[in-house]
Structure 1
Amino acid sequence: MGDGIVMSAKSLKRPGFSFLSRLLLLLQGLILFVLLLGYLAAYIPPDRFWPLAFTGLVFPWIALLNILMLPLWLFVRPKFMFIPVLSTLLIWGRLGNFMQFNRQPAGIEKSDSNINLLSYNVRLFDLYNWKHGRISQLTDSIFQYINASQPDLLCIQEFHAGKHDDVVIADSIRKYSGLKHEYIIYTSFNGKVRPYGIATFSRWPIVNAGIIRFKDNVFNTCVYTDIVKNGDTLRLFNLHLESIQLSEEDYLFVTELRKRQEDSDFFSERSKKILRKLQGAFIRRASQARAVGEKITESPYPVIVCGDFNDTPSSYAYHQIAANLTDAYRKAGKGISETYAGNLMPYFRIDYLLYQDKYFTALNFDRLKKVWSDHYPIKSLLVFNPPAQK
């Protein structure tokens, strides 16, 4: 009779255990499916199939969820642990876009071959908080940071010339950075030149420059400058790809999402509006990235790329531009190093410093986590190894 009781207890346990196993297998299968789609998002153009771009957006979070399946399988069915282990190993190279453990050098000797590079989307230098013709505290903090960084090459996205005659941003940057050469492109809209755009400042002479204009877009662009350093020419790309263009109401909705869920109609309408904006931005960035990638390939000089891509390392846009280039963060960065400081995409890296490793080597990579804009500034010290003169 005792044996019968034991058998009954075991038989009662099995169905519950089996259900949990099936549930975990279903969850694991779903995770692997989304993980695969997120991996493929880097190669499928959003202007051909845009839904895949959303899976690229959540790729790092799905990868983290996949890793968290390990302890669950350990306690439920250890023999299934190989699934998250193997899948994580298969995407390990891609995970390096989101987390790095490089050692930071204690000290770096000054050298004529070094290039101190700084890129920053300054959000118009906090223009709308200027009062009585005087810059805001945030703007002054940006100037002080540029002064402390002493970059050799400075790429600024969402540049603004200045609101009043007594505030000329370019003069202030020259004063604080010591950079004497510049190339600034202002936005032209409805036949009128606006005082905002994209700017490149250099310690060395700029001997040539050009623009890659994006179709049906006057607010985002890419510029390139040919810079001569110690007799050798390099080409620096400074770009700002399509943004999502969210309104203040959209940001408010995102930050108060839980409160708004009570109003189902409002939630549905606003969510669809934001999704449409995301979709449109994914599609437009695809063609913009291809245009930049083609120009990089055509460059007769060693290439450096800086800018605000407005997209993650899992995106099609990033892979179109970064193809055959080295990411300074992957080479010399440490930690998560997110660059977006807003509420919409926390912990996302959407600003980049890239280079051709045949001609450059990154000694370090740094991101200052100060909220002076909706982006964090990023910088890297590169060593320039110019091609041999023929």
Structure 2
Amino acid sequence: MKIFLIVAAILFAIMILLPISKKEYWWIRIFDYPRVQISTGSILVIALILIYGYTSWPMIILMLILGAGTIYQAVLIYPYTPFSKVQTLKSQNLEPEIKIKLLANNVRQVNKNIDKVLAAIGNSDPDIIVLMETDKTWYEGVKHLEEKYPFTLLEPLDNTYGMIFFSRLKIYNGKVKNLTDKEIPSIHCIVELPSGDKINLYCLHPQPPTPHSDTEKRDAEIIMVGKEIKKTGEPSIVCGDLNDVAWSHTTRLFQRISGMSDPRVGRGFFNTYNAFIPFFRFPLDHIFHTKHFRMVDLKRLKQVGSDHFPMFVALSYEPEKKNIKDIPKPDSDDHEEANEKIEQVK
């Protein structure tokens, strides 16, 4: 048991320490994801060391490292618990003309349960639908939605990065862009609310960290959009499977650079992946918005046969009010790092 606990303690210490580095290597960045699981494992190892009375100096040092690491991870995770203050304030406005409802789902290309996705759409009645990992088979299965959602941007692909966009709200300047990789699209458009107000919408699905792909392109795509949003100062929403967790360095850098709010803060993790493995779930699917909005509703919907749960959000456009709070400001180092990330992929 002693050898097992030593090995476990060392492994958990490595998993805690590696992500502190800002390097984009996939084998480092994957440990951004399981902060909750690593913390739980670390606490269990510390408890077992104490129960078995292994209190030699090397074990005490290992326990101190694990304890400090667990506290550090708890600080990162804490904002996404109900104990934290919210960033996005709740709307009390009942005017339907200033509301926008959006459903975003990575449907998993090999998933054949198109009917379940359609049921989720029917039950939540969104104004905008963003489906990722959609190929031509998926498009054929959902294209009848165009009758109700006549404004579309379509990029079905067979490489697991296809994207299909449906809207019943008018859209302008709709474009499918390839920001960092010619094989990976993102959708950009202006959406007109029933009130006549216009907002920018960005739908993203960059690559995850894998043995075949580090995170330079993912990080650069996210930061590019963040810088554009900050530069325009216009009402904007970002949604999609960003293949990054809410508490990662890159996501937090994106928030500081863009000034956008995360409606999950103070409300919960809203873990969307992996839908098949309850203990290994992470918040990979995101919805961010600028200061012009308040939140009406935020939900993780029922499983639809994909490894990702759908996310649903309803926002209220109330630019005259103070809608968000406690958004950290970027410093000179943040701007320098953001520019470096973008330069890496040029």
TM-score by length of 1: 0.63
Residue 223 (structure 2) aligns with: 290
SS at match of 1:241: coil
Please name the residue that 1:169 is paired with: 142
Q: Are positions 1:111 and 2:105 aligned together? A: no
Quick one: which amino acid aligns to residue 183 of structure 1? L
Identity of matched residues, %: 23
Cα distance change on mapping 1:26 and 1:211 into 2, 3 Å: same
SS at match of 1:328: coil
Q: 2:203 corresponds to which residue?
A: 238
2:282 maps to 348
Q: How many pairs align?
A: 304
CA separation in 1, counterparts of 2:64 and 2:279?
32
Who is 1:325 aligned against?
260
Cα-to-partner distance string for 1:64-119 (whole Å, 9 max, x where unaligned): 22333564476557xx798766654444341147655689xxx9884323322211
Residues 172-225 of structure 1: per-residue CA shift (max 9 Å, x gap):
2234xx4332233355x9xxxx9983233333221223344134431x222211
Deviations 1:276-313 (A, max 9, x none): 23xx1434323333333333333342121110112333
* Cα separation, 1, equivalents of 2:161 and 2:45: 48
Pick the aligned partner of 1:182 from 142, 152, 156: 152
Q: What is the match of residue 337 of structure 1?
A: 271
Specify the alignment match of 2:235 in structure 1: 302
SS of the residue corresponding to residue 380 of structure 1 reads: strand
The 1:124/1:74 distance shift into structure 2, 3 A limit, reads closer
Equivalent residues in 2 for 1:347-386, closer than 5 Å? 347-356=281-290, 358-386=291-319
Distance 1:27 1:387 in 2: 53
Mapping 1:27-66, distance limit 5 Å? 31-32=12-13, 34-38=15-19, 40-41=20-21, 44-46=22-24, 49-66=25-42
Q: CA RMSD in A?
A: 4.1
Write the deviation string for residues 242-275 of structure 1: whole angstroms up to 9, x where unpaired. 156xxxxxxxxxxxxxxxxxxxxxxxxxxxxxx6
Q: Offset of 1:365 from its aligned partner? A: 2.3
**1:35 counterpart letter in structure 2:** I
Counterpart of 1:329 in 2: which secondary structure?
A: coil
Cross-structure match for 1:227: 191
Deviation at 1:238, TM superposition (A): 0.5
Q: Highest Rg: 1 or 2?
A: 1
User: Which letter does structure 1 place at the counterpart of 2:43?
Assistant: I
Q: Which amino acid aligns with 1:111?
A: E
Secondary structure of 1:375's aligned partner: coil
CA shift in 2, pair 1:125/1:119, >3 Å: farther
* Matched position secondary structure for 2:265: helix
Q: Residue 95 of structure 1 aligns to which amino acid in structure 2?
A: I
8 Å CA contact 1:35, 1:62 repeated in 2: yes
Unaligned residue ranges in structure 2 (runs of 5+): 86-90, 322-346
CA contact (8 A) 2:298 2:312 kept: yes
Q: 1:196 to 1:221 in 2, by over 3 A?
A: closer
CA 1:361–1:50 in 2, change beyond 3 Å: closer, same or farther?
Answer: same
Partner of 2:77: 95
Please list the CA deviations of residues 28-84 of structure 1 after superposition, one character each: whole Å capped at 9, or x if unmatched. 67645542432x25xx141xx55432332443322222333564476557xx79876
CA distance in 1, matches of 2:116, 2:192: 30
Q: 1:93 to 1:162 in 2, by over 3 A?
A: same
Q: Distance in 1 between matches of 2:297 and 2:154?
A: 27
Q: Greater helix percent: which structure?
A: 1
Contact 1:306/1:353 (8 A) holds in 2: yes
Say whether the 8 Å CA contact 2:155–2:185 is kept in structure 1: no
The question of whether the paired residues in 2 share the 8 Å contact of 1:312 and 1:350 is answered with: yes
Q: 1:108 to 1:385 in 2, by over 3 A?
A: closer
Measure the CA separation in 2 of the matches of 1:233 and 1:210.
16
TM-score (norm 2): 0.70
Structure 1 residues 82 and 157, CA, compared in 2 at 3 Å: closer, same or farther? same
Closer, same or farther: CA 157–24 of 1 in aligned 2, 3 Å: closer
- Describe the shift of the 1:59–1:347 C-alpha distance in structure 2 as closer, same or farther (beyond 3 A): same
- Residue type of the partner of 1:67? I
Q: What is the CA distance between 1:351 and its match in structure 2?
A: 1.2
Residues 1:82 and 1:312: Cα distance change in structure 2 (over 3 Å): same
